[in-house]
Structure 1
Amino acid sequence: MTFSLHAFSSSDTTFDVQAAALEDPRPHPTEAALVQLGHALATELLDLIADTALEDVQTILCESLIGAFHSAAGRIEREADRARDRMRALERDFDGSEMADTELQEATRATRSADVAQAAAELIRDAAADAYTVQTGQVWTAWRGSRRGTRLTAAELEAKQVVRAAEKRRAAAGEVSGPIVAFRAAPSADGAEDARRIFDALNWAKAQWPDMALATTGARGAERLAIRWAQQKHVTLVLARADFDRHGKSAPFRANDELLALEPTCCLTLAQSLDADRPGRTQPFGPALNLAQLAQARGVRHLAIQAKAA
């Protein structure tokens, strides 16, 4: 399998222009080639293990593949930050000498090069994640750390990070963060009718609050459907993941506390699949009921997603 390398032209993307501006004698892969690579990696893996004994662990294999590029992007970002710190120090102590000028130019080059390399890793990651979603219906989310958006996906943030940032803003200038819509749903509520009503509810919310962010725990099933909607609509995601290692069985309920700490404008819940024949529908999903009760007790607007009236 081959991928074309950079050939600068007026039709190049922002990434291509940024890469060409490095003036590196070695060519950079184009954005299209990087996206093609990400799609190919995920597609070939899925095609290879389909209808084999490894199909049972395809989620683990695919998410590990995508996560590897996410981890690589994080490592490159840390290298870029170190180069940026060095560049700032050299700028601060610049004495006009030829040696200082050379060191500053090298640090600047290293910073810009790392920024491009990070963007490349993110393009491969997001393209692989997109192909994974298209072929399996599953959504990949980073287990640790935040994920900035590319042209393919929405931004993705940690709930703790958003809460800390909001607290800092309020302390500094009394700013109020943008509207956040919290969503919790039963993992089994991922049938066709569930998806339609979830998307209807989220589309309604976006019509009410066009600059909304979507907050959820990222749990499998219905909440992954909501994440797919956010990615398609380029709505920022805030993930309050359940920390089972720390909180054990109470983790899904502790995650609700994080969601409410975000001070959501509205909470949407779907405690039970709308398909009466759906497996796992026997009992309503406790964490979704809990979020509804907590929201109502605190005076937060709450809407339960229901079947469409005949």
Structure 2
Amino acid sequence: MQPILHLPSADALTRFESLALQLDDPRPYPPEDALQQVGHALMTELLDLVIETPLEDFAAVICEALIGAFHSAAQRIERDADKARDSLNVLVRDFDGSEILDVEIQDATRLARAADVATLALELVRDAASASYTTATGDVWTPWKGAIRGSRVTAAQIEAREALRIRKAAKHAAADPGATVVAFRASPQANAVEDANRIFDALNWAHAQWPDMALATSGAKGGEKLAIRWAQQKRVTLVLAKPDFDRDGRAAPFRANDEMLALEPVCVLTLANSLNSDRAQAGKPFGPALNLAQKAQDKGVLHYPVRARDHR
């Protein structure tokens, strides 16, 4: 009697595995865990190489360049897939039943699907490298430009300007713009244990109030990086309103606040200074956080400052 092979059900497959199995290619794809291992190994090797050397001063830029390389490659292949789909739409529209066009349609379909799987493969490597970077350094990688689709490792990320464009288009079409936005700004020095605990408490509260929330932040160091890490863990979409210093100069952090408020948040959370007493005494309250709080109050937007537990 032949042994019975128990194949995994469709529900047990990841999106990458499911798409890879649909392709008519005799060459097997690398397993998903192998792709993730490559990302972890590359980042670990790179960190081991630069730590405790003069390059350590530039470790953040070097490591983020490695992650960004996989991100850029994934975007490039995704653009190829989009072009293949555009060609496919034209071929399907003009299909006349001929064998030649039928072959071209099959080739375009095959190319688009293969590019989709290749994109997912690179995203798995990228996200694993990003996770190892965060584990080793405590920093959170965000793309210098562009967007990140959500995965099991990272939350989806979009730029605030793109979110505004989509929202305006949706309003023009009288459609629901989608996720409810909660805006958050915090001091760069607000990354002590006390800060992390209360930031997570505040964001967990917001998530309970608005389960479909998207988190808008500028991506600044300190408290906002902690918020980004929370969003990744909770798979909450990130809207990054990054300051454009080349365009706006010193006013850039405040222009970023305007972009966040243009998203019409239901709530604004701010932490203008560290909740650690030593850090709070050593530094001044963070101006952009105070500015966002004031502008939110002026617009009648619900605002809650993040406070220590003993404050009511």
**TM-score (norm. length: structure 1):** 0.94
Q: Quick one: distance in 2 between partners of 1:221 and 1:69?
A: 26
Q: Name the aligned partner's letter for residue 53 of structure 2.
A: T
Q: After TM superposition, give the deviation of residue 210 of structure 1 in Å.
A: 1.2
1:133 paired residue number: 134
Q: Quick one: distance in 2 between partners of 1:133 and 1:280?
A: 28
Contact 1:158 1:239 in 2 (8 A): yes
Contact 2:40 2:129 in 1 (8 A): yes
In the alignment, structure 1 residue 182 sits paired with structure 2 residue 204: no
SS in 2 for 1:39: helix
Kindly report which structure 2 residues correspond to 1:151-166, keeping only aligned pairs within 5 A, or say none.
151-166=152-167
Contact 1:215 1:239 in 2 (8 A): yes
Deviates more, 1:213-222 or 1:278-287: 278-287
Kindly report which structure 2 residues correspond to 1:196-235, keeping only aligned pairs within 5 A, or say none.
196-235=197-236
Deviations 1:221-245 (A, max 9, x none): 1100000000001111011000011
Structure 2 segments unaligned to the other structure (5+ residues): 1-5
Contact 1:132 1:139 in 2 (8 A): yes
1:116 paired residue number: 117
In the alignment, structure 1 residue 285 sits paired with structure 2 residue 281: no
> After the TM superposition, which segments of 4 or more aligned residues of structure 1 sit over 3 Å from their partners?
none
Q: Name the aligned partner's letter for residue 179 of structure 1.
A: T
1:58 paired residue number: 59
1:67 paired residue number: 68
1:3 paired residue number: none
Q: After TM superposition, give the deviation of residue 276 of structure 1 in Å.
A: 2.0
2:47 paired residue number: 46
Deviations 1:262-302 (A, max 9, x none): 00000000011111222884211100000000000000011
SS in 1 for 2:239: strand
Q: Quick one: distance in 2 between partners of 1:117 and 1:68?
A: 14
Q: Quick one: distance in 2 between partners of 1:203 and 1:14?
A: 28
SS in 2 for 1:89: helix
Q: After TM superposition, give the deviation of residue 13 of structure 1 in Å.
A: 2.9
Deviations 1:84-132 (A, max 9, x none): 1111111111111111111111111001001111111111111110111
Q: Quick one: distance in 1 between partners of 2:88 and 2:165?
A: 28
Contact 1:180 1:263 in 2 (8 A): yes
Q: Quick one: distance in 2 between partners of 1:16 and 1:92?
A: 31
Structure 1 segments unaligned to the other structure (5+ residues): 1-7
SS in 2 for 1:215: strand
Change (3 A) 1:174 1:149: closer
Q: Name the aligned partner's letter for residue 42 of structure 2.
A: L
Q: Quick one: distance in 1 between partners of 2:210 and 2:14?
A: 31
Contact 2:158 2:240 in 1 (8 A): yes
Q: Name the aligned partner's letter for residue 76 of structure 2.
A: R
Number of residue pairs matched? 303
Contact 1:272 1:281 in 2 (8 A): no
Deviates more, 1:133-142 or 1:20-29: 20-29
SS in 2 for 1:278: helix
SS in 2 for 1:94: coil
Contact 2:166 2:177 in 1 (8 A): no
Q: Name the aligned partner's letter for residue 65 of structure 1.
A: L
Change (3 A) 1:255 1:116: same
Deviations 1:120-158 (A, max 9, x none): 111111111011111111000011111111121111111
Kindly report which structure 2 residues correspond to 1:26-41, keeping only aligned pairs within 5 A, or say none.
26-41=27-42
SS in 1 for 2:277: coil
Contact 1:182 1:268 in 2 (8 A): yes
Deviations 1:45-90 (A, max 9, x none): 1122222222111111110000000100110011111111111111
Q: Quick one: distance in 1 between partners of 2:42 and 2:48?
A: 10
2:3 paired residue number: none
Q: Name the aligned partner's letter for residue 162 of structure 1.
A: A
Contact 2:274 2:280 in 1 (8 A): no
SS in 2 for 1:127: helix
SS in 2 for 1:193: helix
Output the aligned Cα RMSD: 1.6
Q: After TM superposition, give the deviation of residue 176 of structure 1 in Å.
A: 4.9
